A and B are shown apart, each in its own frame.
Chain A
Amino acid sequence: MANFSPMIALRLAGPVLLAALLGACTRSDAPPANPAQTTDAATVARGEYLVRVGDCASCHTAKGGQPFAGGFPVPTPFGKIYSVNITPDRETGIGNWTEQDFYRAMHTGISADGSHLYPAFPYPWFTKATRADVDAIKAYLDTLAPVHKEDTPNQLPWYLRWRGELAGWNLLYFEKGEYQPDANHSAAWNRGAYLAEGLAHCGACHTPTNALGGSKTSKRYQGGNAGLHWFAPGLGDNLRDGVGNWSAAEIVEYLKTGANAKSATAGPMTEVVMNSTRYFTDADLQAIAVYLKDRPHAADKSAPASKALGADALARGQALYIDNCTACHMPDGRGLAHVFPPLTGSSSIQADQAGTVIHVVLEGARMAAPQSKPTGLAMPGFGWKLDDAQVADVVNYIRHAWGNRASLVDADDVAAVRKNILPEDLPSRDAHTVYADTHARPDLWNRRPNHLAPAQPVVPARQQ
């Protein structure tokens, strides 16, 4: 599994092409004067919490690098965009940034030097955050040890290096503005909306995008591509491919631990839980649940009836299912309560697109392993023993058996996903040696491939 936020970034990087075509250019305002900076411990603590809510560390930490010092390469169809150093180093980080500089970046996607940031940085969501929260995040980042590390130049073609182009994309797809509470709803609903629409940027994956990468705001939370063919299922009230049959408590449990009676995390969502949502307060998770439970029912995507699959294909899929899947998911697809997730009635199984299901069948998956649910149960990958047609058969079967309904996939769909599996996605065996004297940096947990690793980072073998 590559990291989650880079995947969002990959998805967001598409729009720069459009911006280039538009050739739009608007100069931003000059930065205002440096306001006085006073912070207290409570503000810093809140900032740390909000940094986790925003999942900042994932993108701003390179593999094996210093936390928040940037340098993580985000693969895009056009080249690599490297995350920047957000430690308070004055020369290479954001140590010279004022609170206003930082707020402008979060609020409008414009850097301290006035240049546009690529929307790999999710400012279209962060713009919803209040000034006080953004200041708290800056206050926390200011407490980090400065790391002197130059930003890595992006590897982009010449026509995308001029950032002024991004203003054009902003005109089309970016709506600036802090969250405005809705007086018709409860405080919890508003808090949930503030988080989900803002720092937690749920919609970055769970909302469909148009061909140019802009979110289809008319279809908010109806499921979207989370990059590399991972599909984030709908979060609306739908029963089939939403959270309509999840209780608020089940939403909370899922975000807190990575699993509930209805489903379990896989792929990017495992990382979201491990890096971000497991740290949320129960009140904030409850607020998000209240908000999501109130998302409108999406129009039925008219999944084909099971007979569309054909008796032969169904029989092939069922045979493969019995041979390969029943030991954990059971012949009736109900799984094993609170251990192996059910496939029946599952929103991720019946999602609009089958990318996540295909990914999991090909490479396996590992559930989140927070302290509250430490097991990290895993499913092995079948990509080495099932060919594309077989994977398509078994995926079609589980998307149509037991009353499930979803669109059909074929071998080409599977091949497209298979091409996007990176070597580090495959379960590794032996990269798990940990050292007693390297425990100071538990923040790097998320850098371990597939969460196979212990909670502590690795130091190369004998450099001590």
Chain B
Amino acid sequence: MATTLKPVNVVLVGFGWTASILAERLTASTGLQVLALERGKFRDTVPDFATTHIQDELRYAVRDGLFQEPARDTLTFRNSMDQTALPMRHLGSFLPGVGVGGAGVHWNGQTWRFLPQDFVIRSHTEQRYGKNFIPADMTIQDWGVTYEELEPHYDRFDYLCGISGHAGNIRGQIQAGGNPFEGARQRGYPLPPLKRSHATVLFDKAATDIGLHPFPCPAANTSAPYKNPLGVQMGACTYCGYCEWFGCGNYSKASPQTTILPALRQRKNFAYRTQCDVTRINLDSTGKRATGVTYLDEQGRQFEQPADLVICCAFAQHNVLLLLLSKIGQPYNPVTNTGVVGRNYAYQITSAVDVFLDDIMNPFMGAGALGQGVDEFNGDNFDHGPYGFVGGGYIALWSTGGRPILQHQLPEDAPKWGAGWKKAMAENYLKSASIATHGSVMSYRTSYLDLDPTYHDIYGDPLLRLTFDFHPNEIKMSRFLTDKAALIAQAMQPRSFHARPRTGHYSIVPYQTTHNTGGCAMGADPKTSVVNKYLQCWDVPNVFVMGASVFPQNHGYNPTGTVAALAYWAADAIIDKYLKAPGPLVQV
């Protein structure tokens, strides 16, 4: 039997980026008692990510040192509804985090804003290209929130993190050297761009030569020491090249630990508990009001934590699982095309063009978001009419690092093993680079999450089942992006280059990106969304859902900037609207 604990006002499920943002906002401006429940352990820069040991590629990148352990928590996967889903027994395609800070600890720091048209993708596309341009099974929808509404919240996150970048559009004024396609921002970035690597300088020149507008990609890696509005200090990035899949050892990559937690620790109305697996949001007898959550500790003991407000801040798929298990919202049924929870799962589609040059690139000097990009082919920045697909993506040359095991490129004709492989590696390690494409994935009727009928977790609850495949629209779009990347590669005047396009079915095995989205889509219509524009559940108004699980589809940028902006936006709505009149914030 569960032990009932002393009630709190707000319980946050998970303690990564969104929970940290919510906790900071709620404890700063209200007297509410806020409690975060984290399934993993506490982690901090010292000792957990200390420079004395963090640059260990085998331990952290190859053996998944900081990620969710599939033996403890996983999902089942299939490409299509006629298949039987099987459990993911090793991490591959995506790498959810576990522990305080969540995936915000091991991200690269690539911090983008979605385009203004992304938030109104269906109405915008129908208006520009006609209703028939969108395939019948593509279930994309407008977000219910606009870029203009989110802009102040994007700005807050930029200044929280000390983003290094070069603005492209300040209040409608296009800025030379920045991204001319971005939505208008109220001010520039808090820090100047990172120093460029030689490879990004070559990319910049090549892209300019073929008429594109390259710019330094916005980075949550500090180009200089920084003190954020919460008074938290950050060091300057040393370009050690160990961002992605690692924690930062010298306080220069933004994470909850390096930007929020020090301030949060000073708040007497905030607390957190670690190693708490939340398994249910509890509802009262009407099913319309949450009374708190149930969790199990590391010894399997069950606790009931009463709360007035429950905010789901776990990784995207976990939020969906928690709603399904708690019977909040109608589960999505792809056959009848009814229900909402689990609907509109999406991902991203990536490809690369490897470039082999004469110059020495020193690839080991890198930072997670040190890159030069072009945005001509993202969103609806170009006329899609002749191409017949929806969506796009950015193309960028990232100098994230030159780690010995996983970060290197070899020409296509290089031997795959033996002395020839070694020789090719010696010849190319310092003289190669890779151009990446980062493409959107639309949502479809048959891309969804539900409860697996066969496999259960250690508590006896069904695993989440992921049904997903790439659709022709995405394959076509990615091919288009890859071809454009190849044009830039060619303009870099390399010894050789070759494209690595994404082809065939989606595979959950090779790493692609951790940008899983959807399942709790937001929107203006309760028939097609789980949460309203304030991220509040339509069905249970004292439950809010954060994170990429609310994306109705996935656009052509890394999601963290938008995830954070939505968290700030929702926090304001809770403080300014919900607390004054608890109940549904949007009436339909």
A residues whose Cβ falls under 8 Å from a Cβ of B: 324, 327-328, 336-340, 364, 366, 369, 371-382, 384-385, 427-430, 432-439, 442, 452-456, 461-462, 464
Contacts and interface: CB of A to CB of B under 8 A. Distances in A.
Contacts of A454: 264-265, 271-272
Nearest to A340: B235
A336 B235 contact: yes
Contacts of A337: 225
16 contacts: A328-B235, A339-B235, A374-B231, A375-B233, A376-B262, A377-B251, A428-B47, A429-B42, A432-B42, A432-B274, A433-B272, A434-B272, A439-B268, A455-B268, A456-B268, A462-B297
B99 to A, nearest CB: 10
Interface in B249-277: 249-251, 262-269, 271-275
Contact of B46 (A336, A374, A378, A437): A378
B250 A327 contact: yes
Contacts of B238: 327
How many interface residues does chain B have, given as a range?
A: 35 or more
B42 A433 contact: yes
Contacts of B263: 374
Contacts of B51: 324, 327-328, 380
A337 B45 CA distance: 19
Nearest to A371: B266
Contact of B45 (A378, A385, A437): A378
Nearest to A374: B262
B573 interface: no
B6 A429 contact: no
A433 B262 contact: no
Contacts of B272: 433-434, 454
B298 to A, nearest CB: 9
Contact of A464 (B6, B235, B269): B6
B505 interface: no
A339 B162 CA distance: 14
Given A374-B230, A439-B268, 6 more contacts: A381-B52, A433-B272, A433-B274, A434-B271, A455-B265, A456-B271
A373 B274 contact: no
Interface in B223-244: 225, 227, 230-236, 238, 240
A365 to B, nearest CB: 9
Contacts of A430: 41-42, 274
Interface string B1-27: 001011010000000000000000000
A452 B225 contact: no
Nearest to A364: B46
A377 B249 CA distance: 11
B33 interface: yes
Contacts of B262: 369, 374-376
Q: Which 5 A-B pairs give the minimum distances between C-beta atoms?
A: A380-B50, A378-B46, A427-B47, A436-B271, A432-B42
Contacts of A427: 46-47
A374 B273 contact: no
Contact of A380 (B46, B225, B227): B46
B131 interface: no
A435 to B, nearest CB: 6
Contacts of A381: 47, 52
Nearest to A382: B52
B43 interface: yes
